[in-house]
Amino acid sequence: MNWDNIDTHAKNWVKEAGEKIRSSFDKTLDIRTKSNPNDLVTNIDQEIEQFFIKKVRETFPEHKILGEEGFGDKFESLDGIVWIIDPIDGTMNFVHQQRNFAISLGVYENGVGKIGMIYDVVHDELYHAMSGQGAYMNGEKLPVSEDRTVKEAIIALNATWVMENRRIDHNLLIPLAREVRGTRSYGSAALELVFVATGRLDAYISLRLAPWDVAGGAVIVEELGGKVTNMRGEKLDFLTQDTLLVARPGLHETILRDYLMNGQWEKNSDSE
């Protein structure tokens, strides 16, 4: 498999898609809701996903595509080469703020991450990694992640998870939120993952993410030595929704052991 060729095409397409998104800023968006009134999708999310699908199918007809907006293939396994794409991660920010969103792209072979790209479109910052070859931001090599104590850590955590909710006893994360140096919430899982990779954040926790939210960023974080698991400390399968704990090495184990008690907290895990 010529991974350099796949990587070159992926980079060109991500940049081209970013240009399309930037040029949409002065046009009127067609905004709809999906599963609930706060779950937004725009014509641009759909157009960008279709753009990637067309490019991948023309160039690599044997590859498959898993995309958030549902224009790709249906999956029972991740056998073969699969592009996992979120055309706009952070759609609410895209609509309300025109910033703090990203294109997220991961290319997986038999379920193993080979290429990860997160493109912060507004800042023209492309974070990219190929497994075993280091991770980069716009061609500049990123340093490997090192451990950090909980007391010195900034973690990304959505306020939802420290309010009463269906997924977790909200009291559980309060000691962690109290102990860390600071908490943040950017509203784009893809950006929160690369911020852990670059050290702007030390950890990111979420109770419900889809494969396309995580697939691209996971390759970048892991390439730098960071850890990506669910909140039970298990590997993600990139086929189903799951919880997420991403952190610097060391800090990941500390959070799992001292605050998440290895998953003895989950409630209603089968329901939405």
Query: Which parts of this chain interact with ligand IPD (CB under 6 A)?
Result: 68, 86, 89-92, 158, 187-189, 206, 208-209, 213
188 binds, among ligand IPD, Ca ion, none (CB under 5 to 8 A by kind): ligand IPD
Query: Which of 13, 101 has the CB closer to ligand IPD?
Result: 101
Query: Which of 95, 144 has the CB closer to Ca ion?
Result: 95
Residue closest to ligand IPD, measured at CB = 189
42 binds, among Ca ion, ligand IPD, none (CB under 5 to 8 A by kind): none
- Residue 207 CB, nearest approach to ligand IPD (Å): 9
Q: Counting beta carbons within 10 angstroms of the beta carbon of residue 8, is it exposed (0 to 12), middle (13 to 18) or buried (19 or more)?
A: exposed
Do 68 and 87 form a contact (C-beta atoms < 8 A)? Answer: yes
For residue 89, state whether it binds Ca ion (rule: CB under 5 A).
yes
Mapped to the 3 state alphabet, what secondary structure does 115-150 carry?
Answer: EEEEEECCCCEEEEEECCCCEEECCEECCCCCCCCH
The CA angle 98-104-106, to the nearest 5 degrees, is 175
CA 106 – CA 215 distance, rounded (Å): 5
The interface mask with Ca ion, positions 41-80, x = CB under 5 A, is ---------------------------x------------
187 binds, among Ca ion, ligand IPD, none (CB under 5 to 8 A by kind): ligand IPD
- Residue 42 CB, nearest approach to ligand IPD (Å): 10
Do 231 and 263 form a contact (C-beta atoms < 8 A)? Answer: yes
- Residue 149 CB, nearest approach to ligand IPD (Å): 26
49 binds, among Ca ion, ligand IPD, none (CB under 5 to 8 A by kind): none
Contacting range for Ca ion; rule: CB under 5 A; set: 136-144, 163-171, 212-220, 243-251 = 212-220
Contacting range for Ca ion; rule: CB under 5 A; set: 116-124, 165-173, 177-185, 213-221 = 213-221
- Residue 47 CB, nearest approach to Ca ion (Å): 13
- Residue 190 CB, nearest approach to ligand IPD (Å): 6
- Within 145-272, residue ranges assigned H as helices are 174-179, 189-198, 211-223, 251-258
Query: Strands 125-130 and 112-120, how do they pair?
Result: antiparallel
- Residue 90 CB, nearest approach to Ca ion (Å): 7
For residue 222, state whether it binds Ca ion (rule: CB under 5 A).
no
209 binds, among Ca ion, ligand IPD, none (CB under 5 to 8 A by kind): ligand IPD
Phi, psi angles (nearest 5°) of residue 265: -125, -15
CA 27 – CA 163 distance, rounded (Å): 37
C-alpha distances out from residue 168 to 20, 93, 164, 177, 260, Å: 39, 25, 8, 15, 10
CA 247 – CA 199 distance, rounded (Å): 10
- Paired with 247 in beta bridges are 203, 227
Per CB under 5 A, the list member of 49, 86, 192, 202 interacting with Ca ion is 86
Site for Ca ion, rule CB under 5 A: 68, 86, 88-89, 213
